[in-house]
Amino acid sequence: MLRPLLIRFTPRRLWLLAVILFATGLSATAQNPSAADDRGTGGRLVLVLPFDNRSGQPNLAWIGDSFPDTLNQRLNSAGFLTITRDDRQYALDHLGLPVDFRPTRATTIRIAQTLDADYVVVGSYTINNGRITVQAQVLQINQLRLSAPLADSSDLARLFDVENSIAWKIARQLDPKFSVALQTFLSASSGVKLSSFENYIRGISANSAQERIKRLQLAVQETPTYSAALLALGKAQYAERDYDHAATTLSKVPSNDRLALEAGFYLGLARFNAAKYAEAESAFAFVASRLPLPEVVNNQGVAASRQGHDATPLFKRASTADPNDADYHFNLAVSLLRRNDFNGAQREVDASLKLHPSDTEAADLRDRIAAGRNLAPVTSTSTPAINSFDPLERIRRTYSEASFRQAAFQLDQMRALRMANLSPAQQATEYIQQGHDYLAQGLIPEAEQEFQSAISFSPQSAAAHAGLAQVREHSGNPTDAVSEAQASIKLQPNAAAYLVLARIELGANHLSESALDVSKALHLEPNNSAAQGMRQALQSRGQSVP
């Protein structure tokens, strides 16, 4: 049976949403989940298939596999929910098709319907004289309508630009109101060498573990900060039971990176398998604080219990979130038994056996509970003489970020509904705050959308224009960055806008102008660390700040 990909408010997801809402201080009491569901599922689920290699050069087939990777990232940033590579391969396997199968239009529709996709992106590329030409089309499933071709071309060395440009055109095709600048998309892949990208794609597509690890190691060696390659390498090392190296690799993914949660989950597993239970608990707790999926909460509990701690509350959370999982009931039964709560343990083991009647270990646990009723209190370090069976809680070794991404996607829709009741100024304030949060994570396209939304609600917001100036600066568009910064200052002088001007002027070696803008920023915010850093940078180049 296929994993559910539709965004539906199942009891498990409602629990997840409730936890997220509570953690973020949002209230769901005034929301209408069914209305949010209708709004959230209206044509936002996208399947990107590998592009066809029409170059006549088999050694360039990796480029076709790279398009889903880049397009998924960009379309996610544009507010769409994309289907992961793992789920795409799962669907192909379910339909009896090989992973490298290139589907006809009819088969494409079957795959999309299997995965409940609203849109499918297909495409092809040719390469001549070192230049790549790409063509993509969007198939709208509910109307079985194929868009006009979307094309782009450039030197092969600028593959990132071509893929990001195609992604931007697809986003505009899917949502004509999409307002993020093309330059923002073009700058989104900066910092990753093309050779690293090639090794990463070849690595995640490799058939053997040896080739996979070799390619991914090369990708990381060339670009040490390449989070996607670090995650893939760490997972590959973990699969090969090289737990110490896996943990070392996964710990290099920054905590504010959007891949940090999946990296943290596998880091917890690697530490757990190396019997470093305190470190495993810490890793799972980090993930659970942001992504409270039952498998994560369960694993946090298992790691805690291995240290002799009472993890009953965690196991209760996991089993409540997913009452149809036999292992969560089993773990709660074991934990309650250690508390000498025989009635509770009996209830949970019965629930586990009802879901999985052939579970011999659960049957042994049931016998242990029955025997324990007539014996001395059970502790985590002692076992009744009548029954030597010593149960251990079960860890979950699979991670499904798709469930969380779907719930988070719905949360965005609920957030939009809640914000609709706020004044335009209040809405602008929230969009600005979210924009700065995205900037801190290096998510520039997402940040731009937030600042653009803020400006749409409050065109005279100096903070929104200053945020957009920072986006333009990050995306390598100094002309527009200066324009937005000046517009912000005209509305209300502020340190953020002055610092954008100062950095751009410093980069152009206009030291006196930069110093003047730094001085203005410090006048407004004397303790601004960025302004103080700019003053030191100018002084090191012999320019004093008034």
Q: Which helix (H) or strand (E) holds 150?
A: strand 150-155
The residue written with tokens 């209190």 in the block is 377
**The predicted structure's pLDDT at residue 505:** 95
CB 488 within 8 A of CB 465: yes
Tokens of 48: 């990107």
Q: Which helix (H) or strand (E) holds 345?
A: helix 342-355
C-alpha–C-alpha distance, residues 71 and 173, integer Å: 13
Indicate the burial class of 382 (C-beta count within 10 angstroms; 0-12, 13-18, 19 or more). exposed
Q: Where are the domains of the chain?
A: 42-189, 306-399, 409-540
Region 409-540: CATH code: 1.25.40.10
C-alpha–C-alpha distance, residues 141 and 120, integer Å: 7
**The predicted structure's pLDDT at residue 514:** 96
C-alpha–C-alpha distance, residues 540 and 520, integer Å: 19
Tokens of 76: 């996610």
Among residues 48, 38, 49, 50, the alpha carbon closest in space to that of 6 is found at 38
DSSP structural state of residue 422: S
C-alpha–C-alpha distance, residues 252 and 474, integer Å: 23
In the chain, the largest separation of any two C-alpha atoms, in whole Å, equals 86
**The predicted structure's pLDDT at residue 404:** 62
Q: Which helix (H) or strand (E) holds 459?
A: none
Region 306-399: CATH code: 1.25.40.10
| Identical fold between 42-189 and 409-540 | no
Residues 318-337 as b/e (b if ≥16 CB within 10 A, e otherwise) read bbebbeebbbbbbbbbbbbb
Query: How many CA within 13 A on the CB side of residue 303?
Result: 29
C-alpha–C-alpha distance, residues 243 and 247, integer Å: 6
**The predicted structure's pLDDT at residue 109:** 84
Strand partners for 135: 124, 151
Low-confidence ranges of the chain (pLDDT < 50): 1-15, 19-42, 376, 378-386
Angle of CA points 103, 105, 110, to nearest 5°: 75
Region 42-189: CATH code: 3.40.50.10610
**The predicted structure's pLDDT at residue 411:** 65
Query: How many CA within 13 A on the CB side of residue 108?
Result: 24
C-alpha–C-alpha distance, residues 305 and 302, integer Å: 5
**The predicted structure's pLDDT at residue 20:** 47
Q: Sort strands 119-128 and 131-140 into parallel, antiparallel or unpaired.
A: antiparallel
C-alpha–C-alpha distance, residues 51 and 430, integer Å: 39
Tokens of 334: 């074991």
**The predicted structure's pLDDT at residue 405:** 67
